[in-house]
């Protein structure tokens, strides 16, 4: 059999039933007691009246005898009246009714019929004796013999003397009247005694029942109190009852939660414990009790602030409470976690500086203030130049350390109210409030100086550059997003202008940038959509007039812009970083095509597939692995490919230039040919050129175009060709469009030539045909020679 524990219902008002039971029992016993008392009192009153009347009968009997004797002696007397009183009173005593009054003595009395067999028997006897007495009296007065009067009450009077006989009758009557009164009185006494006994019994029973129920009630209340006390004391929540005078109650859990004794919190104590900023909220809750939740801080025993979240219940109208109840729980950990999460959400974890979101928020607030007060706001957007090299050469840990140190330096050189933020990567931003253009520029100089000052990372000193875009907001409406974008534009401008410098934003920069960004988007889209094609322009050996190589040239046919010249989109691709995927595309296509030709057997020997590498591609690093990977993928021998690099890219000072040269050397060692494009237009020194792994020098088309008529161009071309030969490399003339130009370059010593005169840049199929025709010509010539 399953026994279920009685459900614990601490909030059930169970005490009402016992209270009602106690009251009902008490009322029941009281009612019974009062009813009995009333009844007994009524009976006692009736009996007292009966005793009085019965006792009066005795007096009336004696009076009757005296009156009979007086009447017999002819004196004034009214025995008949007394006899009537006697008879009437005897009858009323027995049957109830109105007892007649005795003149000048008393009033009429209303009696109930006598109860109880003994008393009734005595009163009946009395009535009989009264009758016998009055008849005897009447006979005596009438002169009739008294002996003749019947003795109806069983008396056996043998006395002859009529007066004495009358007196005997009177004595009998008087005696029975007296005894009847005694019997009634005794019965009344018993009645009173019974009533007293009953009252005692009822009182004891009522008291016992009430005590029992009261005990049960007390037990229930005690149990509930114990439950509640246990609940409150074992609860980790803090219960406070407050009113306008302070704290009226605090649960014992205050010791566990705050380490404080109840006394410290009660009354005015709470006010001293609550954080000054939160006192208004707590006071408002105490005054109105209308807030559902209130969060406030309270200092614990050690003076630490603990955050409490309290549910507010207004029980000021509850006469048991008369206050506002706060059910509070310690949410310090949660608050700290929230603060930490908020901090993390708005701070850069590496440098602990505000992140982009917080910067934007502070900028929004600054803009709002600026709108009201026309304050000048300056935003500096900083991009570190050369950071990528540190990251690549020493690893990300070193890069991170570098960023931390730079962040500390920025923090040091700014004012307390300024915001230094890291946007990600090597991009930082500084927000200056109450600034001016001079202040912003001064800070930009400081930033450049600080960044240029060597930073020791991983045991090595690094000196970086910083490109800074500055934008100034001079009051009025403004949007943070717009400002940051403008700073970005200015920063791009600074980078474009040569790095390690700053630019203050001008509105004309926006247009340029807009164009740049629009093109970038289209370039990326074009790559995905296959809008790019590689065309090939043959290079001809001026000795044999045979094709000895082709230059791969990228062509872009945009659906919106039509055919876009490389001179337009390559710089954009370089600035925006699209050059990397584009470069990979060209390498893949060109090498693949050459491999295809090789497999098709249309390639002459020697043959080189020339691919242009942009300066950005080279300085960004990673060219050597990419080329080698692509060669491996296509199966083309390294000796059949050549890379055309610009002069400026490979002669650049600094780590990126050095890395570019190292990678070219590595490729050269693998057999890859290297050509210097647009040689002569840069500032390269011959010393540099000597150390470079170069196989070919391209004479720029600007010299070739004037070669027939301009002696200077002819001299430069001749010198360049001589220089190439002096260095042991070949010279190729670009942009040959006429026979005259061809003759000139041939005379001036160029080895190879390239230009519309031979072939325009054309799709692979066209070039395939050219190569195939050349192959057939060569084969035919060989056949003739052999037959000759």
Q: Which residues bind another protein (CB under 8 A)?
A: 118, 121-122, 124-125, 153-159, 164, 167-172, 174-176, 179, 182-183
Nearer to another protein, 152 or 479 (CB): 152
Strands 465-474, 376-385: pairing kind: antiparallel
In angstroms, what is the minimal distance from the CB of 40 to another protein? 22
Residue 535's region, left for phi above 0, alpha for psi from -120 to 50, else beta, is beta
Nearer to another protein, 62 or 243 (CB): 62
Three-class secondary structure of residue 222 per DSSP: helix
Answer for the pair 380, 447: CB distance below 8 angstroms, yes or no.
yes
Indicate the residue among 56 and 167 with the shorter CB distance to another protein. 167
Strand partners, 384: 466
For residues 121 and 546, which CB has a smaller minimum distance to another protein in the complex?
121
Spatial distance between the Cα atoms of 98 and 80, rounded to a whole number of angstroms:
19
CA distance 776 to 459: 64
Residue 549: which residues within 8 A CB-CB, separation 6 or more?
538, 539, 606, 607, 608, 609, 610, 642, 752
| Structural contact between residues 175 and 2, judged by C-beta atoms closer than 8 angstroms | no
Q: Which one, 157 or 212, has the nearer CB to another protein? A: 157
Instruction: Count CB-CB contacts under 10 A for residue 540.
Output: 22
Rounded Cα distance, 708 and 635, in Å: 43
Q: How far is CA 545 from CA 264, 539, 745, in A?
A: 106, 9, 13
What residues contact 393, with CB distance under 8 A and at least 6 apart?
655
Q: Specify burial of residue 277 (Cβ count, 10 A radius: 0-12, 13-18, 19+).
A: exposed
Give the end-to-end CA distance of the chain in Å, rounded to a whole number.
Answer: 125
Counting Cβ atoms within 10 Å, is residue 9 exposed (0-12), middle (13-18) or buried (19+)? exposed
Nearer CB in complex with another protein: 158/560: 158
DSSP state of 274: B
Backbone φ and ψ of 460, nearest 5°: -120, 150
CB of 170 to another protein, least distance (A): 8
Residue among 154 and 785 whose Cβ is closer to another protein: 154
Query: Is residue 334 within a helix (H) or strand (E), and if so which, with residue range?
Result: helix 332-346
Closest CA to 288 of 318, 313, 319: 313
H or E segment to which residue 205 belongs: helix 162-234
What is the rounded distance in angstroms from the CA atom of residue 224 to the CA atom of residue 241? 20
Encoding tokens for residue 768? 């395939």
CB of 188 to another protein, least distance (A): 15
Return the SS3 of 124: helix
Residue 605 burial class via C-beta count within 10 angstroms: exposed 0-12, middle 13-18, buried 19 and up:
exposed
Q: Are strands 641-646 and 673-679 parallel, antiparallel or unpaired?
A: parallel
Output the smallest distance, CB 171 to another protein, in A. Answer: 3
Task: Specify the residue, 159 or 218, whose C-beta has the smaller distance to another protein.
Answer: 159
Minimum gap (Å) between residue 90 Cβ and another protein: 13
Give min distance, CB of 147 to another protein, in A. Answer: 14
Q: What minimum distance in Å lies between the beta carbon of 107 and another protein? A: 29
Q: Please report how close the Cβ of residue 22 comes to another protein at its closest, in angstroms.
A: 46
The nearest distance, CB 54 to another protein, in angstroms, is: 13
- Closest separation between CB of residue 79 and another protein, Å? 19
Residue for token pair 């370039």: 523
Residue (of 343, 339, 368, 366) closest to 353 by Cα position: 343
Question: Closer to another protein at the Cβ: 185 or 439?
Answer: 185
Q: Which residues contact 253 (CB under 8 A, 6 or more apart)?
A: 232, 233, 235, 236, 237, 238, 239
Number of C-beta neighbours around residue 224 at 10 A: 18
Detail the DSSP E strand segments found in 226-304.
238-243, 246-250, 293-299
Helix 16-72 and helix 162-234, axial crossing angle in degrees, nearest 10: 170
For another protein, the closer of residues 171 and 321 by Cβ is: 171
Q: Kindly provide the b/e burial profile for residues 52-77, where b requires at least 16 CB atoms within 10 angstroms of the residue's own CB.
A: ebbbbbbebbbbbbebbbebbeeeeb
Q: Taking the complex as a whole, how short is the minimal distance between the CB of residue 124 and another protein, in angstroms?
A: 7
Cβ 174 to another protein shortest distance, Å: 7
Least Å from the CB of residue 75 to another protein: 22
Q: Is 744:757 a contact under the CB 8 Å cutoff?
A: no
Phi-psi region of 337 (alpha: psi -120 to 50; beta: other; left: phi over 0): alpha
Distance CA 38, CA 340 (A): 83
In the complex, what is the shortest distance from the CB of residue 137 to another protein, in angstroms, rounded to a whole number? Answer: 15
Query: Least distance (Å) from another protein to the CB of residue 154?
Result: 5
**Three-state secondary-structure class, residue 471:** strand
Give me the least distance between CB of 157 and another protein, in Å please: 6
Nearest distance, CB of residue 53 and another protein, angstroms: 18
Rounded-to-integer distance, Cα 745 and Cα 613, Å: 26
- Nearest approach, Cβ of 51 to another protein (angstroms)? 15
On whether the CB atoms of residues 396 and 338 are closer than 8 A, the answer is: no
Q: Give 126 or 433: the residue with its C-beta nearer to another protein.
A: 126
């Amino acid at each position: 059999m399953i026994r279920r524990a009685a459900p614990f219902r601490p909030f059930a008002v169970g005490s009402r039933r016992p209270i009602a039971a106690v009251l009902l029992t008490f009322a029941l016993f009281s009612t019974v007691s009062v009813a009995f008392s009333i009844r007994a009192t009524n009976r006692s009153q009736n009996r007292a009246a009966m005793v009085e009347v019965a006792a009066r009968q005795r007096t009336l009997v004696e009076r009757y005898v005296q009156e009979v004797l007086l009447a017999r002696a002819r004196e004034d007397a009214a025995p008949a009246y007394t006899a009537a009183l006697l008879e009437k009173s005897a009858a009323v005593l027995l049957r109830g009714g109105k007892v007649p009054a005795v003149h000048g003595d008393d009033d009429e009395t209303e009696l109930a019929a006598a109860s109880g067999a003994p008393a009734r028997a005595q009163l009946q006897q009395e009535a009989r004796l009264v009758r016998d007495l009055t008849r005897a009296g009447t006979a005596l007065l009438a002169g009739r013999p008294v002996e003749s009067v019947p003795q109806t009450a069983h008396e056996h009077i043998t006395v002859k003397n009529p007066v004495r006989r009358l007196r005997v009758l009177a004595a009998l009557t008087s005696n029975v009247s007296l005894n009847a009164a005694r019997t009634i009185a005794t019965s009344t006494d018993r009645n009173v005694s019974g009533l007293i006994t009953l009252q005692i019994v009822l009182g004891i029973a009522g008291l016992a029942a009430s005590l029992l129920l009261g005990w049960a009630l007390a037990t229930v209340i005690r149990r509930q109190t114990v439950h509640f006390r246990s609940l409150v004391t074992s609860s980790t929540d803090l219960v406070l009852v407050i009113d306008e005078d302070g704290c009226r109650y605090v649960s014992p859990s205050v010791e566990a939660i705050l380490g404080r004794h109840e006394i410290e919190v009660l009354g005015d104590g709470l006010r001293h414990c609550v954080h000054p900023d939160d006192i208004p909220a707590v006071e408002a809750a105490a005054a109105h009790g209308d807030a559902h939740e209130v969060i406030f801080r309270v200092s614990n025993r050690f003076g630490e602030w603990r955050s409490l979240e309290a549910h507010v219940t207004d029980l000021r109208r509850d006469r048991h409470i008369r206050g506002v109840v706060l059910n509070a729980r310690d949410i310090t950990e949660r608050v700290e976690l929230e603060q930490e999460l908020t901090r993390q959400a708005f701070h850069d974890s590496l440098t602990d500086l505000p992140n982009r979101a917080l910067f934007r928020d502070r900028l929004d607030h600054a803009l709002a203030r600026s709108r009201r007060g026309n304050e000048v706001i300056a935003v500096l957007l900083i991009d570190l130049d050369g950071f990528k090299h540190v990251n690549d050469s020493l690893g990300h840990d070193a890069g991170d350390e570098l960023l931390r140190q730079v962040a500390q330096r920025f923090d040091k050189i700014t004012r307390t109210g300024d915001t230094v933020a890291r946007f990600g990567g090597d991009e930082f931003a500084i927000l200056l409030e109450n600034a001016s253009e001079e202040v912003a520029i001064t800070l930009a100089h400081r930033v450049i100086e600080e960044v240029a000052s060597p930073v020791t990372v991983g045991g090595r000193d690094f000196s970086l550059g910083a490109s800074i875009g500055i934008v100034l907001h001079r009051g009025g409406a403004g949007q943070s997003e717009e400002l940051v974008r403008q700073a970005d534009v200015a920063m791009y401008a600074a980078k474009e202008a040569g790095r390690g410098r700053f630019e203050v934003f001008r509105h004309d920069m926006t247009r340029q940038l807009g164009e740049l960004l629009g093109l970038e988007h289209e370039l990326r889209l074009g790559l995905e959509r296959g809008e790019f094609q590689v065309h090939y322009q043959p290079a001809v050996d001026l000795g044999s007039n045979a094709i000895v190589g082709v230059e791969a040239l990228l062509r872009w046919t945009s659906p919106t812009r039509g055919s876009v010249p490389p001179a337009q989109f390559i710089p954009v691709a370089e600035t925006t970083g699209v050059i990397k995927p584009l470069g990979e595309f060209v390498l893949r296509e060109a090498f693949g095509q050459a491999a295809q030709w090789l497999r098709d057997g249309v390639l002459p020997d020697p043959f080189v597939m020339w691919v242009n590498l942009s300066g950005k591609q080279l300085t960004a690093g990673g060219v050597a692995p990419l080329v080698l990977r692509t060669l491996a993928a296509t199966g083309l021998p390294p000796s059949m490919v050549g890379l055309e690099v610009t002069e400026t890219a490979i002669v650049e000072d600094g780590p990126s230039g050095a890395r570019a040269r190292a990678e070219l050397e590595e490729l050269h060692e693998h057999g890859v040919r290297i050509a210097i494009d647009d040689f002569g237009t840069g500032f390269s020194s011959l010393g540099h050129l000597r150390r470079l792994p170069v196989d070919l020098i391209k004479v720029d088309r600007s010299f070739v175009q004037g070669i027939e008529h301009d002696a200077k161009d002819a001299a430069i071309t001749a010198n360049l060709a001589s220089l190439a030969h002096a260095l042991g490399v070949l010279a190729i003339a670009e942009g040959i469009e006429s026979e005259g130009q061809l003759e000139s370059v041939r005379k001036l010593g160029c080895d190879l030539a390239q230009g519309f005169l031979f072939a325009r840049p054309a799709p692979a199929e066209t070039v395939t045909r050219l190569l195939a025709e050349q192959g057939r010509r060569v084969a035919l010539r060989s056949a003739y020679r052999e037959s000759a």
